C-alpha cells in the first residue's frame, strides 16, 4: 500500500496569515496514464470530509481561490493564502493512483 505522510500534524495560524501543509507519498503517484491522482480534503468538526483539490492543483467546484495545491511525484503541498475562521478543521491528502486508496493521517489547522 502507498503510505501518505503529512507534516505538520498541527498548525496554529493567525487569521489572515498563510498556512501550508505537506504530504509525501511512499512511492510516485504518477499513474501509467500520465496523471497524478493526488487530492486534498477538508474535514470540519462533526462533518464528513469535503473535496478541495484534485489532481494536485485543480480546485473543486465552489472551493475558494485562497486554496491552492502544488507538487509532483512524491511531494505535494496545500496552501491557504490567508486563513479565515471557517478554515478550521483537519486536512487530508489522498491518493487515487493505486488500490487501495490511502489517506494521510491528517493535519489540524486551528486559530492561534
Partner 1 sequence: QVQLQQSGPGLVKSSQTLSLTCAISGDSVSSNSAAWNWIRQSPSRGLEWLGRTLYRSKWSNDYAASVKSRITINADTSKNQFSLQLNSVTPEDTAVYYCARDEDTSGWSIDYWGQGTVVTVSS
Is the CB of 47 or the CB of 85 nearer to partner 1? 47
Nearer to partner 1, 13 or 94 (CB): 94
Sign for the pseudo-dihedral over CA of 80, 38, 26, 44: positive
By beta-carbon proximity to partner 1, the closer residue of 51 and 88 is 51
**Least distance CB 85 / partner 1 (angstroms):** 23
The distance of closest approach from Cβ of residue 63 to partner 1 in the complex, given in angstroms and rounded to an integer, is 11
Q: How far apart are CA 3 and CA 49, in angstroms?
A: 19
Cβ within 8 Å of residue 107, ≥6 positions away: 6, 7, 8, 9, 10, 11, 21, 90, 91, 92
For 87, phi and psi rounded to 5 degrees? -85, -5
Give the nearest distance from C-beta 17 to partner 1 in angstroms.
Answer: 27
Cβ atoms 52, 38 nearer than 8 A: no
- 54/67 with CB nearer partner 1: 54
Judged by the rule CB under 8 A, the positions of this chain that interact with partner 1 are 35, 37, 39, 41, 48-51, 54-55, 58, 60, 92, 94, 96, 99-103, 105-106
CB of 93 to partner 1, least distance (A): 10
Amino acid at each position: 500500500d502507498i503510505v501518505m505522510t503529512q507534516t505538520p500534524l498541527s498548525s496554529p495560524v493567525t487569521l489572515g496569515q498563510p498556512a501550508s501543509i505537506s504530504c509525501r507519498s511512499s512511492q510516485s503517484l504518477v499513474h501509467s496514464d500520465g496523471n497524478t491522482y493526488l487530492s486534498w480534503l477538508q474535514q470540519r468538526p462533526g462533518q464528513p470530509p469535503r473535496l478541495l483539490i484534485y489532481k494536485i492543483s485543480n480546485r473543486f467546484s465552489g472551493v475558494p481561490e485562497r486554496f491552492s495545491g502544488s507538487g509532483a511525484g512524491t511531494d505535494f503541498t496545500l496552501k491557504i493564502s490567508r486563513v479565515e475562521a471557517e478554515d478550521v478543521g483537519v486536512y487530508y491528502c489522498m491518493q487515487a493512483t493505486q488500490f487501495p486508496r490511502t489517506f494521510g493521517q491528517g493535519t489540524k489547522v486551528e486559530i492561534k
